[in-house]
Structure 1
Amino acid sequence: MFSKACEYAIKASIYIARQSLQQKRVNVKEVSQSIDAPVAFTAKILQQLCRENILESVRGQQGGFVFDKTKQKEITIFHLVRIFDGDGLFTQCGLGLQKCSAENPCPVHDDFKVVREKLLEMTQKHSFYDLGLKTESGLAWLK
């Protein structure tokens, strides 16, 4: 459903949120290993998240990526989906028709509308703080 970049961004953000809650900074290699993603691809994703002011990057021996607790509580999966995949998942026709609408519906319009609404709800519901706590407590996993 999400692009690979978006999936990796979500998983990386959850992992970094979890580590940040323990006052730990993490490097690209550690993040890529924890989410089973290629190092170079992970680096590009983390750079994008820093450019979007979601993560912070600290250079040097004690450096690494960190996810500020205040931002963790504000930012949801929805924010990352919009950055990496755009709004189309929440607005476009399930069959890819350009002129699909309530007045001119495709064959699956009504069913897909429910799916889009539920997906929007789910992506806006969970902050990265909540997701980080869930993985930290062992209630959820990233692998």
Structure 2
Amino acid sequence: MFSKTCKYAIRAMLYLAIHSDEEHKCGVEEIATELNVPKDFLAKILQQLTRHHLAASTKGRNGGFYLNEANKDASLLLVIEAIDGPETFTSCILGLPSCSNETPCTFHPQAVECRNSIVQILKKESIRDTSKRISLNNFKL
């Protein structure tokens, strides 16, 4: 459902929520190594998240990426829309360009209902809440 870029972005945000704050920043190399993600690709993703004000960064000797308290309260939906765009939840699941409420494909009614449920879950789920559950359950990012 989500692009590889989006999945990397979510994992990076969760990593930052667990391992960073305004006092301790994480470098791209550290995050890439821990998540087993290509460093240059991750750097572009982190820049995109920073441009959308979902992550923060500082340059210099003690620089790196981090999440402030407001970033941690961002919903997973905001991260997904920042990377994959809002059409992630509006485009036809069959890829038909003419599918809409007015001219629905055969899956449209069920797909809309399912997507609306997923959007509501992702809208309520914050980076903070998800990262806490990952830490508590010792899940590997």
TM over 0.5: yes
Gaps of 5+ in 1: none
Shift of 1:139: 5.3
RMSD: 1.9
Secondary structure in structure 2 of the residue aligned to 1:31: helix
Question: How many equivalent pairs are there?
Answer: 141
Specify the code of the residue in structure 2 equivalent to 1:86.
G
Provide, for residues 2-54 of structure 1, a one-character-per-residue CA deviation record: whole Å limited to 9, x for no partner.
11111111100010011126953211011112222100001111111112222
**What corresponds to 1:24 in structure 2?**
24
Shift of 1:129: 1.0
Change (3 A) 1:107 1:69: same
**What corresponds to 1:46 in structure 2?**
46
TM-score w.r.t. the length of structure 1 is 0.87
Q: Structure 1: which 4+ aligned runs deviate by more than 4 Å? A: none
Secondary structure in structure 2 of the residue aligned to 1:54: coil
**CA–CA separation in structure 2 for the residues paired with 1:98 and 1:133:** 40
**What corresponds to 1:130 in structure 2?**
129
Specify the code of the residue in structure 2 equivalent to 1:126.
E
1:106 equivalent in alignment to 2:105 = yes
Contact 1:89-1:116 at 8 Å conserved across structures: no
Change (3 A) 1:22 1:71: closer
**What corresponds to 2:89 in structure 1?**
90
Contact 2:72-2:126 at 8 Å conserved across structures: yes
Change (3 A) 1:56 1:120: same
Query: Which deviates the most, 109-118 or 6-15?
Result: 109-118
TM-score w.r.t. the length of structure 2 is 0.88
**What corresponds to 1:57 in structure 2?**
57
**What corresponds to 2:118 in structure 1?**
119
Provide, for residues 85-119 of structure 1, a one-character-per-residue CA deviation record: whole Å limited to 9, x for no partner.
11222112211223323342211112212221122
Shift of 1:68: 0.2
Query: Which deviates the most, 79-88 or 133-142?
Result: 133-142
